[in-house]
Amino acid sequence: MARLPVYLRSLSELATAGSSTTSSDVLAERSGVNAAKVRKDLSYLGTHGTRGVGYDVRHLIFEVSRALGVANTWPVVVCGLGNLGRALANHTGFTERGFPVVAAIDVNPALIGMTVDGVPVHSPDRLADVVADHDVAIGVIATPPGAAQDTADRLVAAGVRSILDFSSTVLSVPDHVEVRAVDLSTELQILGFHLQRDLPADRSPRSLA
Amino acid sequence: MARLPVYLRSLSELATAGSSTTSSDVLAERSGVNAAKVRKDLSYLGTHGTRGVGYDVRHLIFEVSRALGVANTWPVVVCGLGNLGRALANHTGFTERGFPVVAAIDVNPALIGMTVDGVPVHSPDRLADVVADHDVAIGVIATPPGAAQDTADRLVAAGVRSILDFSSTVLSVPDHVEVRAVDLSTELQILGFHLQRDLPADRSPRSLA
DNA sequence: GCTTGTGAAGAGATTCACAGCA
DNA sequence: TGCTGTGAATCTCTTCACAAGC
């Protein structure tokens, strides 16, 4: 469930703030969702709240962490060292949360063999070796759109089963591979769509109906 | 509808490839969705396909573009010039799609007054002026989590009604302000969750049921 | 014959509302 | 009394399936 990481953040904040116990109301408020949703979500973990009291923060952190597999470490390879790739490779939050960036891939001969922000850079040809050597579990695609599918194919061939795709493309992958796509331009376009909708409606397509 | 930008991309590719006409099947394939969904989505635009033939690519590009308000330009201010903020400020794709980054905001005195990749950097105090001067429509929050809510408050006070939030926080904003949150760590955690689920199930919470 | 447009069915996710329990 | 856990109701989104039209 995509909301568990948000709950975990809210719980950590509560723990830091000194709360030892909390309610679905508080958690909902902090996580920006409905209280019933929180309770239902937590019930899937084989829930451990106390009626009339609420949830034990420490225990719930433990439960949610286990559900998310936070104990596990999933090594990440970043493919494409443009602006975004570099920012991602350099992002300290990843390692903290169990997603160390163990290598980067780029076609630029000037970068191959170098170390960028502590991350060794390899040629695409070496991707399979890199994956095998570091037990890479997740591939991040931050290449230009034209190189994205090829990169995905290489990742899949190397045995990677999870891909985070920033490339603004629709990737074709086998069923057993999970892709999550993040497209920054799309996000802005959606915001722009609503901005336009809020204008004195005489151009929006809906208003023609 | 969040899929329109994807359709627009697929249509542009088809146009570039020389297709003058296409079908919901092709579009669905390229966009990674179901064909019926494509038709239903397009029907909301006051659709203009021809039964037995399909859709005219150029005309459909026009329709989808208009629905998305692609003709409009929405100036963007990037708040927080860490790794990610810098990558975003520098991202060329934004301007191309009608979202020029007209200014950046950072607390770092060494940056204030400078120009980073062609983008002028201002102090948070000047945010209201920047928004007014450039008619900023969208605020991007790429600050550390601790500064995010304050930044959001300033953006809202300055009249910004759309926020793209990379800060890993749940923002409180008035109802008339739209927030889209992108949390990179959450994305990885969701991938990690599924990776764990695929392991020889003896640790996953579901398997306890 | 081929493809759209769409009512109806279906699947999921969300919310309600309340019984159950500390 | 207060808050959880959860069946039932609701809502939203997706998919099916087919009549309508080129």
Extents of the domains making up chain B: 4-68, 76-186
Alpha helices in chain B (DSSP H): 4-16, 24-31, 35-43, 57-68, 83-89, 92-96, 127-134, 145-157, 184-197
10 Å CB burial of residue A146 (0-12, 13-18, 19+) is exposed
At B171, list the tokens.
């923002």
* CATH class of the domain whose range is A76-186: alpha beta
Q: Which chain B residue lies closest to A85 (C-alpha atoms)?
A: B87
Topology given in CATH for the domain delimited by B4-68: Arc Repressor Mutant, subunit A (1.10.10)
Give the nucleotide nearest to B35 (CA→C1'): D15
The predicted pLDDT at position B146 comes to: 96
The predicted pLDDT at position A201 comes to: 52
Instruction: Please report, in tens digits, the pLDDT of each residue of chain B (209 residues total).
Output: 899 999 999 999 999 999 999 999 999 999 999 999 999 999 999 888 999 999 999 999 999 999 999 989 999 999 999 999 999 999 988 999 999 999 999 999 999 999 999 999 999 999 999 999 999 999 999 999 999 999 999 999 999 999 999 999 999 999 999 999 999 999 999 999 999 888 755 444 433 33
Residues in chain B with CB shorter than 8 Å from the CB of A152 are none
Q: Which of A87, A99, A198 faces B188 most closely, judged by CB atoms?
A: A99
Residue type for A110, please? A
Give the pTM: 0.93
Q: Which of A86, A170, A185 faces B30 most closely, judged by CB atoms?
A: A170
Rounded CA-CA distance B142/B85 in Å is 5
Cβ pairs bridging A and B (under 8 Å): 189
